[in-house]
Structure 1
């Protein structure tokens, strides 16, 4: 999930699937060996894997670990400069841990994220989506990022995690700032990190004192039972949960909505309902990839990935989106094809660090996009009243990359 820059004629952030020539760039990088040197946006070097087969090997390779502490003497730069991906990779959570610690931290949150447990959240998710769409439908034109993706993500982050109403707006605003590409050593970012840590500590203490049913309450109970060993672990797990719900939901709904607005056939299949509609949603998740890049992995010994040689301590990241567009696995990869064998995509990772919130993520995306495209007359525009489906888009860069704005006409045919 870090922000990565690749050199190809000029410097590029790894593009979103909806950006012009994104698939072409990823195909070129695969043809040139599937592994390439890149840089984190603070300039620190990293390897990036673009080939599906190599990506799967990396995600399963025990020589590549998620915990930077496993190679403390190597010059990997962690946990030095604070940049967007670092915020999750340095916090003590399942994404930044391995072995027994990883199993312990993961076990503290999985009871609330199993397929059975997630079904209990369905009414909350549906009510949230319905409320957002009711407000959206009352307008003639809107920005789908501001009026759809963000309010769905923010409301669900507050409800699912259990952030009190009095603190919700401030916590979510700070977390959005911290997940952005703003300079990490700036006074603004340092102050935001300090303030959000204080607020999450207050939320954690409140959850330990008062019964609840959200993620904060579950983690507080894990702390009281000794599964989480200290207050810092509890606060770090809360921060990681907020990042996961807030950023992944906003990114997937924004990118998925834009992709579907450009694909009439996929929209019609989605509106038809049934199993085919669910398969369309799974294809959208493949293409809209909640976090297009894996978290950091650190080489514990010299190794080869394809033709590239890594030294001990090197950072390796997997471009999950590039793997999801690999034509060796996905024929005509940019096409939404509900007949595919969908279980193979890497949008939720693979192996021991497979996303524990995958079932919840699927439910949110399914409910939100089915509801959005049930609205009549929804189409892209650049200015109110003037349709321009081919307009260029600016993209927000941070832990996730997604359209900055998405103007649409609502309810007009």
Structure 2
């Protein structure tokens, strides 16, 4: 059972937490129960932190653009035992910053992480997807089930983002381990979390030193070089930015690929529609992002003054968390929001956030998502779930909406 207390005026009740539910059915049922009480709810997370959880679409957009709802670099897991220098090396990135610091950081990173650089990755992404599909075909040639998460959904984006940033191939398994622990921080003991982050930061500092001495044609070298009006990223900003790009650049995209594939395989009519009209792949990716997106919530924010959200006034100094997956299923915004409908009229979703913190890597995630799905559908006409009667498990946690495994047959 989840560990969340929902506080209501005139009483108190205990509900199942969406963050500790381990199936999509139970997780979304928990979000629906919260949303039924109203678009803004006061609750205590499984981490013990009291927050205001925003589940309504209109309220989420308002919060994400409100000048008095600000990010805090001090909001890190296990903050009571987390060394301050290590927190600075991990959390001095634009996603944890506010204007004018955010404006400065995003401008510097955007100068290196350009749309042109992303578009230039398309041939490499297609090649990686094709090679991984070859491996899937070989592993599943005899009809044996293969895990799409481990064999395709994770390797593709981590290969792509590691190529883009400039992480040597031999170092990628270690970085995936560190990233997984850091991303699911509250779900790990404090000592495990601190050790993983410390090892990751030490590694990034060594890699930055190597690229500073000998630049290469990669994003890390460009981030080191980039400057504007004499300004450049500091040492902590560099380690934090590279961590953010690597972690966010593969965790969320892997979940888009695996959950998106699962949703298509459980909706035969929608799968048939996409096979018959492959030109709808862009629309399909957007609907999959809306219906069961890869990020559960935004990073926590803090109110620096009383903020009116819907019918609720959030006091100054309180923590606010926006439930992206719930806002994307708000019936006040979408007709039949739980239904996957690839013909749905385009409607802006919040899977990549909104406002100044809208995901900088969204174009890369979309490119990888459509390439991955197109590759799977083209290569495997009989792609199907190996365990159609068993709902795949989802790891408990605050930020990420993922599948632990997805057994499929490709023969």
Contact 2:90 2:239 in 1 (8 A): no
* Alpha-carbon distance change, 341 to 277 in structure 1, aligned in 2, over 3 angstroms: same
1:377 is matched with which residue? 382
Shift of 1:297: 1.4
Q: Residues 89 and 295 of structure 1 are in contact (CA less than 8 Å); yes or no, is this contact kept in structure 2?
A: no
Partner of 1:385: none
* Stretch moving more, 187-196 or 219-228: 219-228
Q: Deviations over 1:4-45 (max 9, x none)?
A: 956575432348897125444333322312111233432111
**Equivalent residue for 1:344, pick from 335, 343, 348:** 348
Q: Separation in 2 of the partners of 1:88 and 1:345? A: 32
Q: Is the 8 A contact 1:296 1:315 kept in 2?
A: yes
1:177 equivalent to 2:186? Answer no
Q: Which residue of 1 aligns with 2:62?
A: 57
Q: Aligned-pair distance for 1:394?
A: 1.9
Cα deviation digits, residues 189-215 of structure 1 (max 9, x gap): 222121111001111122222333332
1:100-115 equivalence runs, <5 A: 100-115=100-115
> When the two structures are aligned, how many residues end up with a matched partner?
396
Contact preservation (8 Å) 1:112, 1:118:
no
SS of residue in 2 equivalent to 1:36: strand
Aligned with 2:360: secondary structure?
A: coil
**What is the CA–CA distance in structure 2 between the aligned matches of 1:220 and 1:286, rounded to whole Å?**
35
- Kept in 1: contact 2:302–2:320 (CA 8 A): yes
Deviation of residue 269 (structure 1)? 2.5
Distance 2:109 2:230 in 1: 14
Following superposition of structure 1 onto structure 2, how do residues 103-142 of structure 1 map, counting pairs within 5 Å?
103-140=103-140, 141-142=145-146
CA distance in 1, matches of 2:34, 2:292: 19
Deviation at 1:246, TM superposition (A): 2.0
Aligned to 1:397: 396
**Scaled by the length of structure 1, what TM-score is found?**
0.87
- Determine the C-alpha separation between the residues in 1 that align with 2:49 and 2:232: 32
Structure 2 CA distance, aligned partners of 1:276 and 1:198? 44
Q: Give the 3-state SS of the residue equivalent to 2:299 in structure 1.
A: coil
Cα distance, 1:68 vs. partner? 5.0
Pair 1:76–1:248, CA change in 2 (3 A): closer
Q: What is the RMSD of the two structures over their aligned residues, measured on CA atoms? A: 3.0
8 A Cα contact 1:271 1:373, kept in partner: yes
> Match for 2:270 among 266, 269, 273?
266
Pairwise CA distance, 1:335: 2.5
2:157–2:368 Cα contact (<8 Å) kept: no
Q: Give distance in 1, aligned partners of 2:88 and 2:290.
A: 22
The C-alpha deviation readout for 1:137-190, integer Å capped at 9, x for no partner, is 112220111111111122123112210223222222222222225655543322
Q: Distance in 1 between matches of 2:245 and 2:221?
A: 12
Q: Distance in 2 between matches of 1:134 and 1:377?
A: 15
C-alpha separation in 1, matches of 2:88 and 2:292: 21
Shift in Å at residue 87 of structure 1?
7.2
Q: 1:197 to 1:284 in 2, by over 3 A?
A: same
Query: Against the structure 1 CA distance between its residues 91 and 76, is the aligned structure 2 distance closer, same or farther, given a 3 Å change threshold?
Result: closer
TM-score, normalising length from structure 2?
A: 0.87
Shift, 1:312, TM fit: 1.6
Q: Which blocks of at least 5 consecutive residues in structure 2 are unaligned? A: 7-12
